[in-house]
Amino acid sequence: MALEVPGWLTKHGGGLKLSSDGRTWLVFIGTQPNYKLVLAPIHGQFGCNVVQTINGRQVACKAQAPSAEEALRGALEELRQALGW
């Protein structure tokens, strides 16, 4: 699955990379993976857990969608809001 890097993330020198497990996306800010987005099934749809990599703290994410790609985009938007960007 290809996921487009949102403009707000590139503006802050960030990027996205699919991890080796094939279901976790790493959110880079600079050269460090600061957050991970982990897809999860929720009532026949897709959800996404957003976790800060340095301390395991979860970012509140209520994104739920019929496709994995939509759930990831929703989680990225919630992460943007949590960061205040």
pLDDT band for position 2 (cuts 50, 70, 90): confident
Domain regions of the chain by residue span: 7-83
Q: What is the Cα–Cα distance from 38 to 72, expressed in whole angstroms?
A: 9
* 4 secondary structure, DSSP code: P
At 33-69, the pLDDT tens digits run 999 999 999 989 999 999 999 999 999 888 789 999 9
- Whole-number Cα distances in Å, 41 to 23, 67, 68, 71: 11, 10, 9, 10
Query: Which amino acid, residue 67?
Result: S
Alpha-carbon Rg of the chain, whole angstroms? 12
Q: What is the Cα–Cα distance from 7 to 47, expressed in whole angstroms?
A: 22
Map residue 6 onto helix, strand or coil.
Answer: coil
At 6-39, the pLDDT tens digits run 999 999 999 999 999 888 999 999 899 999 999 9
Q: What is the arithmetic mean of pLDDT over 66-84?
A: 93
Residue bearing tokens 């993976």: 33
